[in-house]
Chain A
Amino acid sequence: MTLNHDDWGKVARMMSKRSLWMVHFCTGCGAMEMPPVMTSRYDMERFGMHAMATPRQADVFLVTGYLAVKTLKRVVQVYEQMRDPKYVIGFGSCTINGGMYWDSYNTIKDLSKYIPVDVYIAGCMPRPEAIIDSFLKLMDMIDKGEAIGWKKYHKYYDQYKKNQRMAYAYRLDEVEDIKEDDAK
């Protein structure tokens, strides 16, 4: 029996799901429940997850809560510095539809308009159990090859960039045309 390409991919996925390294970036108040998840009660290191300092080293990005536009810029920068395959978990209601801040002028309402999100966790704020559950869900998706947010980002890069620009400029009009050299 010989291993074909798919089998190697399966092995790679198996490895990458058991060793998800997280970016150390507290984007919002959801980060408050990260310490409990990391420590003795919930201990996410059981699944091989731990926080890494820089985006280059990391695989999974927990967007912990609402994103101010100023933070969105940093989030996109960090997300683009992460290496494929990379996954995003949208954390809390704020990333889904704005949550408490549905009418705030400075927070974006739907994270998936700006970067692809693989898993959402509902709640404000989500309990550690929910977070652990989302990790398991993500692992399951990776295993099945369904966590393809990073592929989507490459494929629809122009659309994502355009949306990001609109948010950065706080206006819909006057969005500059996407330059040729920007497209990857």
Chain B
Amino acid sequence: MVDFFALGEQILVMAFLVTLGYAIGMFFNGFARKITARIHNRVGPPIYQGYIDVFKLFGKKTNISHGWIFDLAALFSIAGITLVFLFLPVAGFSMLSTDGDLFLILYLLAIPALGFALGAGASGNPNAAVGIMRALMTMLAYELPLVMVIVAMMVHYNTTSLAGIVAAQSNMHWAIFLPVFLIGAIVADMALQGMLMEKPFDIPIAPHEIATGPMVEFGGKHLGALMLYKMMGIVVETTLFVDLFLGGGVILSVAQYGWLAYVVNFLVWFGLITFVFFLALLINAVFPRFRIEQALKFYWKYDALVALLILIWIFVEVST
């Protein structure tokens, strides 16, 4: 018999966390613009600008669509990214992360991307098509070093489950404190830069080249949905990084400290993802963007080479 009470409770908690995730995502939008503005010597928008922008976009009186395939973009991107968030351990708290593992997360991340790509393609604008081409190629580029590091971690911790990796890092045994995964974290941070589409890898949306690429035809609620996707994407991607290398931000054990542990862990997690995002913003501010083949070469030559060293390291570790 299904325990409906427990199920309901779980759904409520998940709804709360998803709301929190989006709230943090929107905060990150304002945060990013504020930080960038400070680097530009400007005052910048208020830090809550992200909320205003999203509400405004959803409040647009008329919206255009290029047909039902175009609409899929908004649906798939929001649904997909929310789903990924559900499968991530957040601050050590697992929503669905015991029901799927890291491979699932990697593939679920493709749902919003492909959905977005469908919508952009359906708009029939060549700028969008070129942008999607670049986005997919950037994805191919950064995935190689990323999966190499992830595979190394899986083998090292002998689990494919992200929750398992987080659990293995409890009691401050964070992966980043191991020399091999310190290098791994640097490699993955480079990949994260591509994942977050920050410079030098913001090739897909390069405004001067292809007028924001895939987003050219999106406006109003469609753009709002994409912004939500992007904002949640920041949370998801930084959380993934934090879960992998920084123990998910878990510093107190729930068994020992009860609800206090949740609060503290959430705060630490929030601090860590903000910090990771902040690093990405700093890199973003001072670099021009690569051309797409340069990005591919960068990831597959330099980043992947370092990742290969990590693999060899782990190989030796496993073999002996």
Question: A interface vs B, CB < 8 Å?
Answer: 11-12, 15-16, 18-19, 24, 39-40, 43, 45-48, 52-59, 82-85
Q: Interface of B with A (CB < 8 Å)? A: 33, 37, 40-46, 49, 52-53, 55-56, 59-64, 207, 211-212, 215-220, 223
Say yes or no: B52 contacts A19, CB within 8 Å. yes
Contact A83 B52 (CB under 8 A): no
Docked complex Cα distance between A58 and B52 (Å):
14
Q: Could you say which of A48, A53, A82 contacts B216, with CB atoms under 8 Å apart?
A: A53
**What are the residues of chain A within 8 A of B207 when measuring CB–CB?**
24, 53
Partner of B211, one of A15, A54, A59: A54
Q: How many A-B residue pairs have CB under 8 A?
A: 83
A-B contact pairs, 26 of them (CB 8 A): A12-B55, A12-B56, A15-B56, A16-B59, A39-B42, A40-B41, A40-B42, A43-B37, A43-B42, A45-B33, A45-B44, A46-B42, A48-B45, A48-B52, A48-B53, A53-B207, A55-B219, A57-B215, A57-B218, A58-B219, A82-B219, A83-B60, A83-B220, A84-B60, A85-B60, A85-B61
Contact B43 A43 (CB under 8 A): yes
Residue of B nearest to A55 (CB): B219
The CA-CA distance from A40 to B43 in the complex, in Å, is: 7
Residues of chain A within 8 A (CB-CB) of B220 are 56, 83
- The one of B33, B41, B217 in contact with A56, judged by C-beta atoms closer than 8 angstroms, is B217
- B223's nearest neighbour on chain A, judged by CB, is A57
Taking a contact as CB atoms under 8 Å apart, the answer to whether B46 and A48 are in contact is: yes
Instruction: State A19–B61 Cα separation when bound (angstroms).
Output: 15
Q: Are the C-beta atoms of A19 and B44 separated by less than 8 Å?
A: no
A45-B42 in contact given A19-B49, A56-B219 (Cβ < 8 Å): yes
Which A residues are CB-close (under 8 A) to B61?
83-85
A149: shortest Cβ distance to chain B, in Å? Answer: 13
| With A15-B56, A45-B33: A54-B212 Cβ-Cβ less than 8 Å | yes
Write out the residue numbers on chain B whose beta carbons fall within 8 Å of the beta carbon of A58: 219
**Are B55 and A15 touching (Cβ within 8 A)?**
yes
Residue in contact with B52 in the complex, picked from A18, A53, A56, A84, CB distance below 8 Å: A18
Q: A45 and B45: CB pair below 8 A?
A: yes
| Cβ contact within 8 Å between A56 and B37 | no
- Set of chain B residues within 8 Å of A85, measured between Cβ atoms: 60-61
Given the known inter-chain contacts A48-B49, A48-B53, please indicate yes or no for A43 contacting B44, CB distance below 8 A: yes
Least Cβ distance of B130 to chain A in Å? Answer: 14
| Contact status of A40 and B40, CB under 8 A, knowing A12-B59, A48-B45, A48-B46 | yes
Q: Are B63 and A83 in contact (CB under 8 A)?
A: yes
* Cα separation A164 to B65 with both chains bound (whole Å): 26
Q: Which of A16, A39, A56 lies at the interface centre, i.e. has the most chain B CB atoms within 10 A of its CB?
A: A56
A56 to B215, CA, bound (A): 9
Contact at A45–B64, with CB atoms within 8 Å? no
- Beyond the given pairs A19-B49, A43-B37, A56-B223, 20 more chain A to chain B contacts, judged by CB atoms under 8 angstroms and listed by A's residue number, are A15-B52, A15-B55, A16-B56, A16-B59, A18-B49, A39-B40, A40-B42, A45-B44, A46-B42, A46-B44, A48-B45, A48-B49, A53-B212, A53-B216, A54-B212, A54-B217, A56-B217, A56-B218, A83-B61, A85-B61
